[in-house]
Structure 1
Amino acid sequence: MTEKQRPIVNPEDLPLDHWSEGGFFESSDVSFGSLLGLTNLGIGYGEVPPGKSGCPFHNHHVEEELFVILAGEGQYRFGPNRYAVKAGDVLGAPAGGPETAHCLINTGATPLKYLSVSANARTEICEYPDSGKFLAKTRDASGKPQFRFIGRPDTAVDYWDGEPGI
């Protein structure tokens, strides 16, 4: 066990990273799986203010996610449906196409607090159905990002484009 690793972590004792983007996306969150010595499992804690979402509507092609609502209430947008959620609810987001796209929205009057647990795949493709984007990313065995690209399918080029002698 390294100096930073420990067998028990209380996310409320960890410093949160606060961020916001535009008028709808905002969160204070922290990833802490590495503090527990985990390399193949991602764990995070998030607090989303009323009326906000902690991420865009998206689906994963490789990683599965699980969310545990700790406090507050909100709406779980999953595929074409929306579900009311509250403290104690456990939400699944299996890997797949747009039918498994998901995001949490705080519809309550207090912060929506939750744990997120996911596979920590070394390679992942995510789609964002609302904006038509995709994300391709890889990371090394230690979790350090190696490659990351966000784009849209209409910017695709032919396999041989730009190759010498073509």
Structure 2
Amino acid sequence: MTRARTILNLDEVNLEFATQGTRFGGADGDIGQTLGLKGLGATLYEVPPGLTAVPFHRHHTSDEMFVVLQGTGTYRIGEERLPIRQGDCLGAPAGGAAHQIINTSSEPLRYIALSNNTSADVIEYVDSGRIRIDVGASGFHRENGTFKAGGRLVPMDYWEGEDVG
């Protein structure tokens, strides 16, 4: 078992780069787990020009905060598109408006994403109409979830599909 670090310099964060299509891409690396944090998630992101790391989404139980370390871009939150720059702190409260950080500049955009690690979360992907449900009796929903599923919901009555005899 690897012992958690007490101090981690951002230059030491192991960044892993991934892309999806032509719109999504970037590198991310864990900070929170490396420091042994259980209730607070922290991830370093580096997003190349013209890309975004994640889809437009909102969490229903997890607050998120982003701290812009380097570069400029756009914070898409709800119906707004707001300019962001180094030193800005961005909030995305649980159950609030959907959000996404887009690098609209010609330089890399680096930021830290912070969130509370809950045992359950419902994430809504507003542009695609998808949802993701991750839940577990203990631990962090994304890591230790006993139920993890995603898809598109259709409205239904409480008893629909049940054998009511």
- Normalised by the size of structure 2, how large is the TM-score? 0.89
Instruction: Give the aligned partner of residue 4 of structure 2.
Output: 5
8 Å CA contact 2:18–2:25 kept in 1: the answer is yes
Please identify, of 142-151 and 104-113, the stretch whose mean Cα deviation from structure 2 is larger: 142-151
Gap regions ≥5 residues in structure 1: none
Instruction: Give the aligned partner of residue 58 of structure 1.
Output: 57
Once the two structures are superposed, the pairs formed by residues 44-83 of structure 1 within 5 Å of their partners are 44-83=43-82
Question: Cα offset for 1:158?
Answer: 6.0
For 1:10 and 1:145, the matched residues in 2 are separated by 30
Question: Cα offset for 1:157?
Answer: 8.3
Partner amino acid, structure 2, of 1:151 = G
Instruction: Give the aligned partner of residue 128 of structure 1.
Output: 125
Instruction: Give the aligned partner of residue 141 of structure 1.
Output: 139
For 2:159 and 2:127, the matched residues in 1 are separated by 27
Please identify, of 124-133 and 29-38, the stretch whose mean Cα deviation from structure 2 is larger: 29-38
Q: Is 1:95 the counterpart of 2:94 in the alignment? A: yes
For 1:10 and 1:162, the matched residues in 2 are separated by 54
Question: Cα offset for 1:35?
Answer: 1.6
Q: Deviations over 1:83-137 (max 9, x none)?
A: 000100000000115xx10000001111100001001011000111111111100
Question: Cα offset for 1:156?
Answer: 6.3
For 2:23 and 2:93, the matched residues in 1 are separated by 25
Taking structure 1 as reference, are residues 146 and 11 closer, same or farther at Cα in structure 2, changes over 3 Å only?
farther
Partner amino acid, structure 2, of 1:111 = P
Gap regions ≥5 residues in structure 2: none
Partner amino acid, structure 1, of 2:70 = A
- Normalised by the size of structure 1, how large is the TM-score? 0.89
Q: Secondary structure at the match of 1:153?
A: coil
Aligned positions, number: 162
Partner amino acid, structure 2, of 1:95 = A
Q: Secondary structure at the match of 1:69?
A: strand
Question: Cα offset for 1:24?
Answer: 0.1
Q: Secondary structure at the match of 1:12?
A: helix
Please identify, of 26-35 and 100-109, the stretch whose mean Cα deviation from structure 2 is larger: 26-35
